[in-house]
Chain A
Amino acid sequence: MATLTPTLTLASSDMNGDVLNLSVTDTLTVLGQVTTKQVVATSAGVVFATAANYSKSYVYLKNHSTVTAEIITIEAPSVISADLTNDATVTVASTRKLSRGMTVSSGSVTGVNDGQTIASITNATEFELSAVADGGTITTDLTYNTDEYMKLGPGEFAFFPWIATDATTTDQDVSLACITASGSPVLEVRIYQEAAA
């Protein structure tokens, strides 16, 4: 058995009338995978942790860049099968993980070019692309760059318990990817899995 002890302190002397000096710690049992690596964020997005390969884990991320513009966004990519009709309407099994503004890419499927976005969510199974698509059936999955949830500026870090694969809330299984709009910032990734696989 291995024990991981995270401690977070938050300090500020000029925020309010009193001094902020918070310190919290925890004792975590980490029996499974441990991943320590650096990945280079790109504008196309890089998946650095696939949900199916992990159970609940504790994740530490840090943007190692020192360039102001090199911001890394942490997102959850989704791949969902879809059918096209003869307009911009796309039918999927569920739009639950989708939201307006998500970027859509589709490999070589005619009519759906990388960079298109979801214009609107129509209902539980249909959404509209930002531009009209050709008709036909998509033979490969659409990939949606979804849920850009964290924004790491240069030098910034995050620490959070990641759901990864969870049998009780399967709709929340989300992989982790990083994307940047500028440069090639390096993201330090440390993952400590709670339980042995």
Chain B
Amino acid sequence: MATLTPTLTLASTDIFAGQPLNLSVTDTLAVSAPMTDISRMNTNDNIGNGVGIIIPEGTDSYYVYIKHTGVLASNGTTAASVGNDFILLGDVDATAGMKIRLHPGEFTFFPLNVGDGSAGSGGDMGLKVVKGGADVQINYGFWKRS
């Protein structure tokens, strides 16, 4: 078992008149294997469980970090289109509830819920990335909730 310490700050000097925003939150999370430390993949890569599947369906809960690197998968250097080359995150079925959309440079961190442990009929959870336009590179990491 290991400890993961995430810290998020949200800052703005002009979001409210006369009221700057300076939120900081941190947590201490117990994590264990399986875990994947910060890694990189293309949205059309198969890293072991199917194209775009980062976490296979199952009954574990994970802490997830995803960042859209802002470059195309084709060569790793060409800038992705800000408007078109977004990515969607959803469960492994990728048929519903893809409520997270990352444009170039954006990132997310969230605790992924457990799945039902049974494939194919929904409720699967896991995590799949789907491209919006061109395939792009992402950075990712996930750690099992201990």
Stretch at the interface among A5-13, A105-113, A131-139: A5-13
- A176–B116 touching, CB < 8 Å: no
A11 CA / B31 CA spacing, docked (Å) = 12
Output the nearest chain B residue to A24 by Cβ-Cβ distance: B107
> Knowing A149-B97, A161-B100, A174-B99 touch, does A8 contact B65 (C-beta < 8 A)?
yes
Q: Render B21-40 as a binary contact track against A, CB cut-off 8 A, 1 for contact.
A: 10101010101000101100
Q: Which residue of A lies closest to B124 (CB)?
A: A99
CB A187 to nearest CB in B, in angstroms, measures: 13
Whether B10 and A4, one on each chain, are in contact in the complex, defined by CB atoms closer than 8 angstroms, is yes
Main secondary structure of the interface of B (DSSP, over half): strand
- Do the beta carbons of B106 and A5 come within 8 Å of each other? no
Task: Report whether A12 and B4 are in contact in the complex, using a CB–CB cutoff of 8 Å.
Answer: yes
Residue of A nearest to B84 (CB): A168
**Of B12-20, B44-52, B73-81, which stretch is located at the interface?**
B12-20
Q: Is A86 an interface residue, CB under 8 A from the partner?
A: no
Query: What's the minimum C-beta distance from B96 to chain A, rounded to whole angstroms?
Result: 4
Evaluate contact between A160 and B37: CB separation under 8 angstroms: no
Interface of A is mostly: strand
Is A15 a contact of B2 with CB atoms below 8 Å?
A: yes
Question: How far does the Cβ of B21 sit from chain A's closest Cβ, in whole Å?
Answer: 7
Alpha-carbon gap, A169 to B86, bound state (A) = 12
User: Are A76 and B6 in contact, CB atoms less than 8 angstroms apart?
Assistant: no
Contact with B along A99-123 (1 / 0, CB 8 A): 1111000000000000000101100
Which residue of B37, B100, B106, B116 is within 8 Å of A16 (Cβ)?
B37
- In the bound complex, what is the Cα–Cα distance between A18 and B33 (angstroms)? 16
Alpha-carbon separation in the docked complex, A171 to B98 (Å): 9
- Interchain CA distance A176-B97 in the complex, whole Å: 10
- How many A residues, CB 8 Å from partner? 64
Contact of B112 among A151, A155, A190 (CB under 8 A): A151
Q: A12-B4, A159-B8 are in contact. Are A149 and B125 (CB under 8 A)?
A: yes
B11 pairs with A5, CB closer than 8 A: yes
Chain B contacts with A in 69-108, Cβ cutoff 8 A: 88, 91, 93, 95-103, 105-108
Residue of B nearest to A176 (CB): B99
The chain A residue with its CB closest to the CB of B123 is: A101
Q: Does residue A83 face the partner (Cβ distance < 8 Å to B)?
A: no
The reply to whether the CB of A156 lies closer than 8 angstroms to some CB of chain B is yes
Q: Which residue of A lies closest to B86 (CB)?
A: A161
CA distance A150 to B125 in the complex (A): 10
Q: In whole angstroms, what is the CA distance A28 to B105 when docked? A: 10
Which of A6, A56, A121, A172 touches B122 (beta carbons < 8 Å)? A121
| Between-chain CB contacts (< 8 Å), 25 pairs | A3-B13, A3-B14, A3-B15, A5-B11, A6-B9, A6-B11, A10-B5, A10-B6, A10-B109, A14-B2, A15-B3, A15-B37, A20-B38, A22-B38, A24-B67, A76-B99, A98-B122, A118-B122, A150-B113, A155-B27, A160-B99, A160-B108, A163-B88, A163-B100, A172-B99
